[in-house]
Structure 1
């Protein structure tokens, strides 16, 4: 299980270290940084897929996503006693840091600005440093693999050089794939590659989830829901079919979801109580379609190590929230779940179902910085970014 995620220098997340539980719920008002947390976790998966630097470039380069406030914020600044201002010169290098810790292994990546050169790609960020470590905190004795600039070393009986020419745009997670020699790299890569994100499914008339889908076994719903019918049929034929049926019945009393085959295509149908014929997917309301998409994501026969949902309550009628809550709680028996939400009903429902097993964090903003409500210096998990 992932026990901690850490983000430094990304938008309003100047320095955020967040403990995770089997189910973690993140709430807060608009604009406090919930979406930034969601996007930062997505960037971490980009390291394993070789898209981290490209994703940052698409967002306008490192300068567009970096923390825009002062390097340090004094209490006098927070209290309004003195103006919010930066120092004449930075003490530390410009850095975007991302990291996580599981029960067994930790990983961090430090992204910075390129050194001046004659290239035109001066806005492309560079990976300056990466570290894989054992245990819950980075220490010299727990360091297993380290990368500084183009050089990667791994600890065997002694430190051994893995490569000395790794491109600054590429992560060692995506480029070094020799599991027998470097099992720590393999473990970190498999961890982040298994994370799954679902954010703002489209439910408009042109949504990819509406219409016919290719008839093929689909244990994992696509991020945009474009294979919903195939994913639902896969669930119906699995041991989770009864769970899906109960969830649909709870959300839509006496309703039933089904799939029909038309040659190489599948069509999603929904039988609503009182109607003489089932509704096709293009006839479904936005809320109904969204609930089915969320159910397909949560009941995947091939669950990820971490499932992240961003504002799943969007477009759902309040009466559907209890069914969604039970789906999240049920999914937590098979995978770790992180939910970013505005819904007080979802908070209350998960607290009733999970009790102390629920890790609930409320985010707030102070002097432009995202903070965890009630988290003091000694309350947050141990985290050390190390140095370049």
Structure 2
């Protein structure tokens, strides 16, 4: 098992996810049509990373605020008007609840605020609380059952996970935070004329792809000239584009890459000349084959801008990345889902919308799948 693997995600009251508990395999694939709410699975995990970063309230505000992000369907009388998300990573579970301010809270009128926040250790069926937030105060468990308490550490909009005291730097809680910060999310790289993907990048070592893909040339150059291993990368490019060659010159002030097409061997084609689909696929290569693989990569509709003929190569790329990284794929492509199921022998989970609520076929209320079969 990869250290820090995400084992379970529980979501209550987030957009169309009214109450869902998902077990997550090393490779998890969710397929659904437009409007089924499948992207909310992606956003729920992204929610956790922003909690670790300390900008969750800002991120929620940019998503439209609590009015847009909360479940808007019917609720039971006793249910609180909150978003509650829990994620299990290894043997640790992080839980956070977000809601509206009260009249006496030191916050703006509609600012999303942290209502509850805990980190628990799960040992052989037993649960031990390692971190608990109460208002502005935080309690952390120490060695031998001891506890340390910090008063007035937090504003209502700040997460405890992002504001751990220096004394907790070596704790399991800090390790969990670092794991969440290591996650990477990719959703439809820009490939228009002004996209940063179409320009060279500063010629510096790049071990991870930026979220906008701007450092893709440097990521490729790092693989070619620092690690000196682009065998898988270039093989995938050949598979995807009929034996085209990816050419990565040594960087000087700027890093760049080129494609040599078999029909035009005398000329190199620059980033600015490549088709949208070619550039999108190359960006996915950079995201999934970088020098330092993330612990988790979540892909939302990676098939965007790609011709259906590229689905086998995309499945091969995801399969190669899954050798070192946990992968979660959210897609509406039947072809990609089929290719992933065959290539990785992983179940394909179908996302549906029923009465405005996102549901996953075969998922029970206990967070297990009833069929155990590949769709």
TM-score by length of 1: 0.88
**What secondary structure, in the 3-state scheme, does the structure 1 residue paired with 2:281 have?**
helix
Change (3 A) 1:182 1:280: closer
Unaligned 5+ residue runs, structure 1? 73-89, 382-388
| 1:37 corresponds to | 41
**What secondary structure, in the 3-state scheme, does the structure 1 residue paired with 2:284 have?**
helix
**What secondary structure, in the 3-state scheme, does the structure 2 residue paired with 1:282 have?**
helix
Alignment: residue pair count: 361
What do residues 268-309 of structure 1 show as CA deviations (whole Å, max 9, x unaligned)?
Answer: 211111112011111100111111100111101101110011
**What secondary structure, in the 3-state scheme, does the structure 1 residue paired with 2:20 have?**
strand
What do residues 112-157 of structure 1 show as CA deviations (whole Å, max 9, x unaligned)?
Answer: 1111148781100110111101128997x42221112212112232
| In 2: Cα distance, 1:118 partner to 1:188 partner | 29
| In 2: Cα distance, 1:30 partner to 1:59 partner | 19
**What secondary structure, in the 3-state scheme, does the structure 2 residue paired with 1:14 have?**
strand
Unaligned 5+ residue runs, structure 2? 370-375
**1:149 corresponds to 2:135:** yes
| In 2: Cα distance, 1:310 partner to 1:170 partner | 27
| In 1: Cα distance, 2:62 partner to 2:333 partner | 31
| 1:84 corresponds to | none
User: CA-atom RMSD, angstroms?
Assistant: 2.0
Q: 1:34, 1:363 within 8 Å by CA — same for their partners in 2?
A: yes
| In 1: Cα distance, 2:362 partner to 2:123 partner | 22
Q: 1:179, 1:186 within 8 Å by CA — same for their partners in 2?
A: no
| 2:373 corresponds to | none
**What secondary structure, in the 3-state scheme, does the structure 2 residue paired with 1:260 have?**
coil
| In 1: Cα distance, 2:123 partner to 2:73 partner | 29
**What secondary structure, in the 3-state scheme, does the structure 2 residue paired with 1:338 have?**
strand
| In 1: Cα distance, 2:254 partner to 2:96 partner | 43
**What secondary structure, in the 3-state scheme, does the structure 2 residue paired with 1:222 have?**
coil
**1:18 corresponds to 2:22:** yes
Which of 258, 280, 299 matches 1:290?
280
Change (3 A) 1:229 1:278: same
| 1:189 corresponds to | 177
**1:348 corresponds to 2:352:** no
What do residues 328-364 of structure 1 show as CA deviations (whole Å, max 9, x unaligned)?
Answer: 1111110100111112222122222222xx2432111
| In 1: Cα distance, 2:355 partner to 2:283 partner | 38
- Displacement after TM superposition at 1:104 (Å): 1.6
| In 1: Cα distance, 2:341 partner to 2:122 partner | 30
Q: 1:178, 1:186 within 8 Å by CA — same for their partners in 2?
A: no
Q: 2:20, 2:367 within 8 Å by CA — same for their partners in 1?
A: no
Q: 2:21, 2:365 within 8 Å by CA — same for their partners in 1?
A: no
**What secondary structure, in the 3-state scheme, does the structure 2 residue paired with 1:31 have?**
coil
| In 1: Cα distance, 2:83 partner to 2:305 partner | 34
**1:324 corresponds to 2:328:** no
| 1:128 corresponds to | 115
**What secondary structure, in the 3-state scheme, does the structure 2 residue paired with 1:143 have?**
strand
Which of 57, 64, 76 matches 1:53?
57
| 1:223 corresponds to | 211
